[in-house]
Each structure stands twice: as C-alpha cells, then as structure tokens.
Amino acid sequence: MNHRITLIPGDGIGPEITKSAIKILNAAGVKIEWEVVEAGLTALEKYRDPLPQEVLDSISRTKVVLKGPLTTPIGKGFRSVNVALRKEFELYVNQRPAKTFKGIKSLYFDHIDLIIFRENLEEFYSGIEHYIDSSRSAAETIGIVTRRGSERIIRYAFEHAKKHKRKKLTLVHKANILKYTGGLFLDIGEEIAKEYPEIKFDDKIIDNMAMQMVMNPYQFDCIVTTNLFGDILSDLASGLVGGLGMAPGANIGDSAAIFEAVHGSAPDIAGQNIANPSALILAAVMMLDYLGEFDAAIKIERALSKTIAEQIHVTRDINKENYVSTSEFTDAVCRALE
C-alpha cells in the first residue's frame, strides 16, 4: 500500500535523525510519498512564522505526520508548535511506550514494557491562568476536566489494550484531594472498565504511583491519566528504560496523528552526525502500527533491537567505548533488516 505522509524534519539534529528513519523505512519496503514541510525555528527564520499555514494544510491532507524535534523560539508571542498542533487537530491522546532494549543501560530494571496514555488537551495545560492581583504576587491556573475528554482518552486506552492483547490498565489520579476533577476522571474510568471485563482494571493515587513505578514497574502494563500527571510519569518511565534517547511518542486524534521523538533538538551536536536516531525510528514503528503495516513495524523494531544488543555499530550515548556515527548506525539497522 502507498502512503502519503507529512514529514517535518525539525530543528537541530532533526534533519539527521529523520534522514535515518526514512532510510530504514525504505529498506523495510514501506512505500511512502513524503510531503516535506518546515516548522519551528527553521520556519521562523525562513518565513517569520514557527508554524506556517502550509504545515497545517499538509497535515489536513495526509492525516499522518512523522516529526523531528522542534525548537520553540524564546520570545513574547511565539507559540509552542507542539501545543499548537495538538490543539489545531484535537490530538487528545499522547501515547508514550517505555520499553527496555538489551544494550541500553537502565539503573535497575530489565524487561520493562509499558505504555502511558496521557490526556493531551485539558486540565492545567488548557492555558487558563492569570495573576490575581496587580502586583503579580499571586497567580491562578484553572485545570478543566470534562466528561467528554475523560471518556475518549480512557476508552482509547482500553481499546488499544484490547487490540494489542494487553492484560491490565491502571488509572492514575488524585481524587482524594482533587475530588471534583480527579473524582470525575476516576468515576468515568470505573464506568468504562465494566465494558472491558477481559482487561484487569485498577487505580492508583499519583504520589503512590510514582513510588510504585520506581520500586516495581513490572506490576504495570498500560497506564491512563490526566495531562499533568501523564507528562511527569511518561518521563519517569523513560528514565526507567535508559532515558529519552529511546523514547518515542505519538499525538493522536480522530482525524490526524503525529509521531515524534520525545527528546529535544540538541543544537549543540547538530550537524556532527553523532545523534542517536532510535527514538524517531521507534516513533516510525508506532506510525507503521497505526497505518496497519504490522509486518514492517515488527521487522524494524527487531532490527533496531538486534543492532543495539550487539553494541558494535551504535552511537556514543549507547556505548562510549565503542561507537559509530549516526549514518553508520543507520546502515547497521538496514543490514539487520535483511
């Protein structure tokens, strides 16, 4: 099947790691026609807009995006491109897997394989905040949780668990203190759970959840939570498996989906051909799964896993004693595909 997909190469190391991901997708035999558009700092310097209209038009056409890391320009009036894209296309799911790979150093654990589903648009990230006095000595942020927003993220998590034969879903909240917002999210989770008797359902208060993830992450499978808690827990989970260098992510809505590396644009190493492309490669694997290209997704993940485990053709952040360039690492993954 031929796919038409928007490609945002990104800033900093973005063009290098997107080049790597594309080469591996081609080697796996996936047929893709790319619409290449620019956003972030690159677009700001070229078009005086970090999110040009052509980016929005392309995503509206293709519905699927592979995106390199973007730099949000510092300065009054400039918006976060990532947040703007989520709002523009109502990408209410932030999906973050955390999985250990042999050859990647993690502090204590092996064989972790969990997924966090974070509500992506509501709560404290709605942007409703203000100072409450003229001296700016106090400020207020309003976090809104709706039934619609809660239902669709929780149902998405259950459906994903069912489709991928996951056994358990844990809902994370703070309903003991945030009795209305947290209470609503928990109540809706308990209601929806009754429709999925084949999936074990439990809930955890956020502070206990953070402790439990560090002490025994193996008790968790899929995790669903609100925006702020999901932001924090997903990075915690990435830390358990070796850091953001192996952390892909997806922002998914009913009409579009964006797949990306979670890490930043690392301008200090841009253009040096030393960046680790694994996070974006794994984001491409998520994209293939979304598109129904299951065989190619499995092949690429296995090839990446094999290459990392061998510790011969890997980037410096993976093996400081024996390392190669980004392009050499990419070539090794392509060879492993064969």
Same fold, 1-97+245-338 and 107-240: yes
Q: Assign residue 254 a region (left: φ > 0; alpha: ψ between -120 and 50; beta: otherwise).
A: alpha
**Sheet of 257-261: strands edge to edge?**
31-36, 2-8, 64-67, 257-261, 248-252, 93-99, 113-119, 222-225, 168-173, 200-205
Span 162-172, pLDDT tens digits: 999 999 999 99
Would you state the structure tokens that stand for residue 338, as one six-digit string?
Answer: 């064969």
pLDDT at 123 over 60: yes
Q: Find out whether 287 and 64 touch, Cβ atoms under 8 Å.
A: yes
Share of the chain above pLDDT 90, in %: 85
> Tell me, what's the pLDDT at 75?
56
Q: Report the C-alpha gap between 56 and 66 in whole angstroms.
A: 14
> Tell me, what's the pLDDT at 71?
85
Give the residue numbers marked as catalytic. Answer: 125, 174, 207, 231
Span 254-272, pLDDT tens digits: 999 999 999 999 999 999 9
User: Which residues sit opposite 261 in a β-bridge?
Assistant: 248
Q: Where are the domains of the chain?
A: 1-97+245-338, 107-240
Residue with tokens 């009409």: 255
3-state helix, strand, coil in the chain (%, to 5): 45, 20, 40
For domain 107-240, give its CATH number from 2.40.110.10, 3.40.50.1000, 3.40.718.10, 3.30.420.300. Answer: 3.40.718.10
CATH number belonging to domain 1-97+245-338: 3.40.718.10
Residue with tokens 């956020």: 206
Average pLDDT, the chain: 94
Per-position DSSP letters for 205-222, written without gaps between them: EHHHHHHHHHH-GGG-SE
